[in-house]
Structure 1
Amino acid sequence: MKAFLILEDKTVFEGQSIGATKEVISEIVFNTSMTGYLEVLTDPSYAGQAVVMTYPLIGNYGICREDMESKRAWPDGYIVRELSRLPSNFRSEDSIENFLKEQDISGIAGIDTRALTKILREKGTMNGCITTNQSYNIDEIVEKLKRYKAGKVVEKVTCNQKSVLKAKGKKVALLDLGAKNNIAQSLNDRGCEVTIYPALTKAAEIIKANPDGIMLSNGPGDPKDCESIIQEIKELYNSNIPIFAICLGHQLMALATGGDTHKMKYGHRGGNHPVKDLSTGRVYISSQNHGYVVDVDKMPEGIANISFVNVNDKTIEGLEYLNKNIFTVQFHPEACPGPQDSSFLFDKFIKMMEVKKDA
């Protein structure tokens, strides 16, 4: 079946329908990962977006549900150059085509994803529509695209109730803003007992549980839409409990302490982003997925020092908060997909909790 991708600037790509056939309108973003398409599809940070995979062949090793980063897929749409019809891998349980249908995700294959990515890089991220309607009215669709906003997506992706990953080590409270499974798993593998809380949990409840540390997770959407969560993070900041924050959690901590964020032209999404540790000068290759960034010039003086910067565009990739047991990063040390160069940050967090406990 024919399918069309219509962009806000009236560019139209024609390809073949994959997955579900419903019409979707979403923000179109691109991911440069060469592998890990299942982890991308099941990353809650993609809620409210349709993902373009820049790697030309997707699905060649099939679907292995053990690798899923949440219980379901989250993107509104999926856009690829070529979709593998015959996966080959001893772990494969299904094809990506069947997975997209099962998850009710509309997609399009057979388009020039390189040309599409160049448009998004040059003009910036924009909204788009995936449709199988061959008699579409482009002016009507573009009008809908201009009105589309993802809205408050954190509430849609967070867990419904508290849960616990048991262990005998440090007790960590994980605020689920759209957390990938591997964040909790990375802590649990290091002996931490992880209690996962819904995003709208009050700070008082977390503080009352007396955790050794608090983790603020990744998540989707504009951080400034999380007004009530930011107010609770202000209380967590003042609690003196060690805190480690990733991605959206990093942005929300900056907002909670008087900083600011802005939307990037096309964001960082992929497993090949270099970040520089300013304390050592060492560069790590990181996994990233974000469209917003903390403003370099708008962090209040005396609150935090910049700890990591992006080598390509010099944006803030990490903050160390002064006179606090708090550090945050924009990238994903848990990876999945992506390199695990920066997984040592989990060990740093555990060490911080140990020192705090001894004190």
Structure 2
Amino acid sequence: MPQFAFSVPVGSWHPFLAASIASLRSQGPGIAVALLDASGDPRVRALADAHDDWLSYRRHGPDGGQSDAIIEGWKNVPGDWLGWLNADDILMPGALDRVRARLAEAPDLDVIYGHSSIIDETGATTGYHFNVEPPGPRLLQAGIISQPSCFFRRAVCEGVGGVNADLHYTMDWDLWIRMYEAGAKFDFVEAAMSMVLWGEDTKTASLNKRRRSELQDIISRHAPEAAQSGTFRAFLVHAAADRVWPAGLRERVRRRLRRSGPSVFGIRADGLVQPGAQLFLAHYDAEPKTGLVLEFDSDPGGLRVSGDALPDEIARAGKTIEIRLSPALAGGETLSLQLVPEPGSTVRFLSAAWR
């Protein structure tokens, strides 16, 4: 049975941090968690106090940055498999059970990863991380792995030198590449393993000089020469869309760029709902959720919604479908919904928000 060691570096307080810790705690036995708090915020310390009986290691005070904190955490907690969550990352219920099950089938695997749901600042689900794909050479030129949904052997990580403490933005991609080039056995699980915030203040939306430098270095060393300029340009366009462009322009450009993008669980990169579309939703609040509002870019018309918690009431108004859940969804459980569009329809999914 694999034992997991997790680092949770905290540079500043984030409202999702409580859910992040709760999501780790919900994974069951066989997990040791280190909380590395450089925030100086009393709310982080209070949250750590509330989980003090469970945390394996905690440190409050300055550190050398996120990568340094991740390394510190792993050094101070046991576990032959590693992972890390930032303060705004949340594991899906049962994520580590999926890793355990895969290892029971293929015990020689070194890296296991899956999909991520994307959430906004309110906690509403807005889609999936559409760049994630099975392992292969494209890893050398694109971020095809979602870091919070990736878990790997300590021995393999340490064998390639571990996380590079000098990197601030690309330490995950750099680590994946070094393990891949060293011959580590990667595996992809077709499941949503985490919820990841994509917002204007997240690090991946940054256009600053340090991030540009780190990206250029990795791309120039690993990506095929013919693909280097296009790869770097794609990162810049994504960052500009998140931080610079006005909201209206941002959504129009995103939709156009993603029109030919991949689909994850039947939701295309631009939000188009395709036959067989599925949403996997979860929360970690103390109070069960009794309702859900689905929002689309146009009137969903004849779109049918079904799921494992059958709705006992559906109200449709304009571009939304409101669902009342029966039974209510408790924290740490997953709701699976199926969306069945009318043939030929072009309705696009925008968000799913708890009520």
TM-score when normalising by structure 1: 0.29
TM-score when normalising by structure 2: 0.29
